[in-house]
Amino acid sequence: MAQLEDFGLIREIVAAGRPRQVIEHLDQTRYQRLVELGWLKAFSHDLGHVSYRVTERGRAAAARS
């Protein structure tokens, strides 16, 4: 079940209008929950770099009041 801070984070990512790029492993943990909810999709790159892209489900969650 989604928590209040999950909605805030997905709104922030959608408002940025581009994929979220994360390099530090510790920073990735805050996005993993949104991946588990189906709101983000993770794409791994070299050296632990991960891009998170918003899914349609994530856009719908960001639009909720």
Q: What's the per-residue H, E or C state across 4-52?
A: HHHHHHHHHHHHHCCCEEECCHHHHHHHHHHHHCCCEEEEECHHHCEEE
Q: Looking at residue 26, what is its pLDDT?
A: 62
Low-confidence ranges of the chain (pLDDT < 70): 25-26, 65
Q: What is the pLDDT of residue 35?
A: 96
Residue 24: the pLDDT is 72
pLDDT at 33: 93
pLDDT at 58: 97
3-class secondary-structure state, position 59: helix
The pLDDT score that the predictor gives to residue 37 is 96
Q: What is the pLDDT of residue 5?
A: 92
CB < 8 Å & 24+ apart, contacts of 23-26: 23/47, 23/48, 23/49, 23/50
Residue 31 contacts residue 52 (beta carbons within 8 Å): yes
